[in-house]
Structure 1
Amino acid sequence: MSAVAEGGLTLQPTPLPFDLAGFEVLIGPERTARLHTAAAALRESLGGGTLWHVNSTGAGGGVAEMLHTLLPLYRRLGMRARWAVVGGDTGFFTLAKRLGLALYGSTGDGGQLGPTERDAYLAALGGPGERLASLVRPGDVVLLHDHQTAGLVPRLARRGVRVYWRCHVGVDRPTEVSDRAWNLLAPLLDGAHGTLFSVPWHIPDRLRNGRAAVLAPFIAPFSAKNRPLDQATVRRALVRCGLRPDDGTPAGPNGGGPPVQVTGEAPPDPEEPLIAQVSRWDRLKDMHGVLAAVTDHVPDGHLALVGPDPLGVPDDTEQALWFERCRTAWLRLPPAQRRRVTLVCLPMDDLVDNALLVNSIQRASTVVLQKSLAEGFGLTVTEAMWKARTVVAAGVGGIRAQVTHGRTGLLVDDPHDLPGFAELVISALHGGMDIDTLGERARQRVRADFLPDTEIHTMARLLTGGVHE
């Protein structure tokens, strides 16, 4: 089934089925029983209504990835669920990007977030809002994701449906910039039945009103991005990404596919440790800062900076800018340093293929990095932890809730401390700690706290009034 677009709103097709039986084996009988109890409570609360999820893209980014798992899981558990994506022109997404960066405390493009911008934002959501309001029915529940959709709350509330807003971004300490963003958004949320945040310290004071809840994002353990892969599959993927020399081995299931845009001198030697960061090309993911930290301060290892095709994520208008900044910085490196870095842009037109490439790169990496300047919740961190990789990250945002320094990964307190960050990478590469134990603890942390059943439990409590902070 294809996506259906009308009135600035796209109804997403049913994602691939969820392997509930396999998941129940993974989590065990006691946790399975709790999952089905929560699902029964959720079905009763919905009373036959539909649970809608609404975001701004069907591909690219953590929200879309989670929804590709959640929709089939809801249906396997006996609930009606649908997924809609709001559209917009370049002006809308430029404004939404500015708003999202401001929620992180970043000035972004330096533009305003005043009454004029609020009116333009709401006007752009007029068409999608009308279309969505015509589709929902009394008894439905609508969960809106992130700043791109907050302006839909008033219209939906007037329809008499239960509407919740979920924020996947945030700033650890409020700033003047983040306050401007909340000045625009907070009044729009008055009609919401509740709000959800990934970590408690991202809830602004003005929303600590008894209607805010905490719900950490999750990964799907059997998805193409996280399932086990054999070594031949991993190697073929690395060849496609310019991270292993091509030995002429015939292409298998993951040896062909859309072309991968590779910027590099030559594939690294297979014996050379691979250091990778997988992120959007985004100012706050700080790919160019990672490039500087590794090339200036880490004497060995090959760095792979891996992101999507800069033109492949329609709701992010700055990808091409930040990729080009990384490419320019790479070109300016001395030749010996330039040979140690590969920039990889993954195609977005086949999401399963994209996920298998990410999976392969993470599994092949000795160290997985996430040196974000700010972070809502780092799903790439959780993915690497699930694969028992050593994670070296900045202790910002939700990463502080995911990684315990020295136990499930390594954290640098200040993401701008490039020598300190590099020191942790060197320690992981050269035996400064037992990385096998670190990796296994990381995997068990994900199994305990960051799998899809946590979402069902929290939503059941939320809709029955028992989870607010």
Structure 2
Amino acid sequence: MITVPQLDQYKDLIGEDQLSQIYDKVRALSGLHVMHFNTTERGGGVAEILQSLLPLLEDLGIKHTWKVVPLDDTSNHFTAHLVDMLQGNIPGQLEAEDQQAFLDTLAQTPILSRPQDSQADLYFVHDFQLAPLTTLFPWLRPAIWFCHIDTANPNQYAKEYILRFLNNYNVCAFNSQASVFKELPREHVQVITLGIDPFKNKNKYITREQGMQAIARCGVDPTRPLITQVSRFGRWKNPWQVVDIYRLVKQHIPNVQVALVGAMEAADDIEANDVLADLRKYAKGDPDIHLLHDPTMIRDQEVNAFQRYSSVILQRSSREGFGLTATEAMWKEQPVIGTSSTGLRSQIIHEQTGYIVDDTQTSADYTLKLLQDRDLWRKLGQQAHEHVRKNFLFPMIVLGYLDALTKAMAFAHAQPNLSGGQKR
């Protein structure tokens, strides 16, 4: 049996059973060529997952190619509105001319203009932006579509817009059962539980001294109480509530400070600048509110330091497909004060590994509680670490991914797409 060191290093963390399952599943897929498509090579959870997943699967004998389909500003605005509708159940419709303009642009994707340059055994398309690809380019079959956002409560019109393209996929994958579109045939759905790579630089252990130095390099005083949220600057990450929580806590602990940490490097994140500008106004010049966004400053070690050595970690997302930054913090023995959003609710066990709470005052109360009772903070943090070890390390995503590949290839031979129609 072929084994790879990158996977075997998990043996002490998860035991041999899960690793054996991976090796068993991968044997039947050896030699397969999978081609992935997403919209950005850096920034955001999808790119980070692919950066870890694809080299590992290559070592296991499954060839992978990754192609980025960049979107122009008009397309990014259209898809930003679409995700607002899918995640937030915002009322309204998508204008027909906007839909057509987006599809026309996508149909002219240069990297897909020559089918002979994009040959693979299986195509893997990420997120709602690129769902139309298999309709526009029928030769991209068999195919899997993976939805990474929180679609537990979508706008019906936006959901129907996406559903019209999903008939051309053999498998539709989601990172939470709650986000699955109920209209899809159950046998063509795969839930892929996400997980973190604890051996990446961002998640490796660093000493307190190293962490304090990294925090100080960002202009934050590491000797004072620090509340932190790590996430991109987006409206669904709800950074304004983080500031509100900090202000309530500051009434009781005057020297507390807050850091909002999110390197702005995702090419498809068009709203980050607007959110950051609004936050600057919202901060009203308070020197204890730190908005850290420079990707040349906020690198893996800095993110590691803030997650590991902040006094309290918040994740206030009003919508969250999964929330890898919460997983990372819990791995670093931090209880997380999260919300009832789909992804956070699936990870955080209330009063055991953190807290699930939506309103600002109660969130501030829990923050104050963890700042004042460090024995409780340590206890919940240790339980959070153990919860991630058992449920949310990288082999979990590998298992779900291999199941999706196996299912897609089986359906490709029997029923090439969700309708059972013939491959065009």
What TM-score do you get using the length of structure 2 for normalisation? 0.88
Secondary structure class of the residue paired with 2:337: strand
Aligned-CA RMSD value: 2.4
Quote the Cα distance in structure 1 between the aligned partners of 2:311 and 2:244.
19
For residue 35 of structure 1, report the CA deviation from its aligned partner.
Answer: 2.2
1:5-404 alignment to 2 at 5 Å?
19-43=6-30, 48-105=31-88, 107=90, 112-128=93-109, 130-131=112-113, 133-137=115-119, 140-156=121-137, 158-159=138-139, 161-174=141-154, 178-244=155-221, 270=223, 272-298=224-250, 299-300=252-253, 301-309=256-264, 312-331=265-284, 338-347=286-295, 354-404=299-349
- Aligned residue type for 2:106: L
For residue 130 of structure 1, report the CA deviation from its aligned partner.
Answer: 2.6
Q: Deviations over 1:248-302 (max 9, x none)?
A: xxxxxxxxxxxxxxxxxxxx6x0x2211001111111011121012213453222
Secondary structure class of the residue paired with 1:206: coil
For residue 383 of structure 1, report the CA deviation from its aligned partner.
Answer: 0.4
Quote the Cα distance in structure 2 between the aligned partners of 1:67 and 1:462.
15
For residue 21 of structure 1, report the CA deviation from its aligned partner.
Answer: 4.0
For residue 455 of structure 1, report the CA deviation from its aligned partner.
Answer: 2.2
Secondary structure class of the residue paired with 1:35: helix
For residue 433 of structure 1, report the CA deviation from its aligned partner.
Answer: 6.7
Quote the Cα distance in structure 2 between the aligned partners of 1:131 and 1:227.
42
Q: Kindly, what percent of the aligned residue pairs are identical?
A: 31
Quote the Cα distance in structure 2 between the aligned partners of 1:95 and 1:204.
21
Quote the Cα distance in structure 1 between the aligned partners of 2:73 and 2:330.
36
Quote the Cα distance in structure 2 between the aligned partners of 1:171 and 1:82.
28
Quote the Cα distance in structure 2 between the aligned partners of 1:277 and 1:132.
43
Structure 2 contact 228–261 (Cα < 8 Å) conserved: yes
Q: Deviations over 1:117-147 (max 9, x none)?
A: 2212211211337347443336x11111111
Q: Deviations over 1:223-263 (max 9, x none)?
A: 1211111233212211221113xxxxxxxxxxxxxxxxxxx
Quote the Cα distance in structure 2 between the aligned partners of 1:220 and 1:132.
35
Structure 1 contact 18–76 (Cα < 8 Å) conserved: no
Structure 1 contact 137–161 (Cα < 8 Å) conserved: no
- Aligned residue type for 1:166: F
For residue 193 of structure 1, report the CA deviation from its aligned partner.
Answer: 0.3
**1:86–1:18 Cα change, 3 Å:** farther
Q: Which residue of structure 2 aligns with residue 249 of structure 1? A: none
Structure 1 unmatched ranges of 5 or more: 1-16, 245-267, 333-337
Q: Give runs of ≥4 in structure 1 deviating > 6 Å.
A: none
For residue 316 of structure 1, report the CA deviation from its aligned partner.
Answer: 1.0
Q: Which has the higher contact order (CA 8 A, sep 6+)?
A: 2
Q: Which residue of structure 1 aligns with residue 390 of structure 2? A: 448
For residue 388 of structure 1, report the CA deviation from its aligned partner.
Answer: 0.8
- Aligned residue type for 2:22: L
- Aligned residue type for 1:60: G
Quote the Cα distance in structure 2 between the aligned partners of 1:142 and 1:444.
35
Deviates more, 1:448-457 or 1:215-224: 448-457
Quote the Cα distance in structure 2 between the aligned partners of 1:33 and 1:135.
35
- Aligned residue type for 1:396: S
Quote the Cα distance in structure 2 between the aligned partners of 1:79 and 1:455.
15
Quote the Cα distance in structure 2 between the aligned partners of 1:160 and 1:291.
45
For residue 112 of structure 1, report the CA deviation from its aligned partner.
Answer: 5.0
Quote the Cα distance in structure 1 between the aligned partners of 2:141 and 2:216.
50
Secondary structure class of the residue paired with 2:10: helix
- Aligned residue type for 1:344: L
Q: Deviations over 1:7-29 (max 9, x none)?
A: xxxxxxxxxx9833423443333
Structure 2 unmatched ranges of 5 or more: 412-424
Quote the Cα distance in structure 2 between the aligned partners of 1:132 and 1:194.
25
Secondary structure class of the residue paired with 1:144: strand
For residue 340 of structure 1, report the CA deviation from its aligned partner.
Answer: 3.0
For residue 419 of structure 1, report the CA deviation from its aligned partner.
Answer: 0.5
For residue 418 of structure 1, report the CA deviation from its aligned partner.
Answer: 0.9
Structure whose residues are more often helix by fraction: 2
Quote the Cα distance in structure 1 between the aligned partners of 2:86 and 2:114.
26
Secondary structure class of the residue paired with 1:362: helix
For residue 215 of structure 1, report the CA deviation from its aligned partner.
Answer: 1.1
For residue 209 of structure 1, report the CA deviation from its aligned partner.
Answer: 4.3
**1:424–1:240 Cα change, 3 Å:** same
Selected match of 1:420 from 352, 362, 366: 362
Structure 1 contact 162–193 (Cα < 8 Å) conserved: yes
Number of positions where the alignment pairs a residue of Structure 1 with one of Structure 2: 403
- Aligned residue type for 2:118: V
- Aligned residue type for 1:29: E
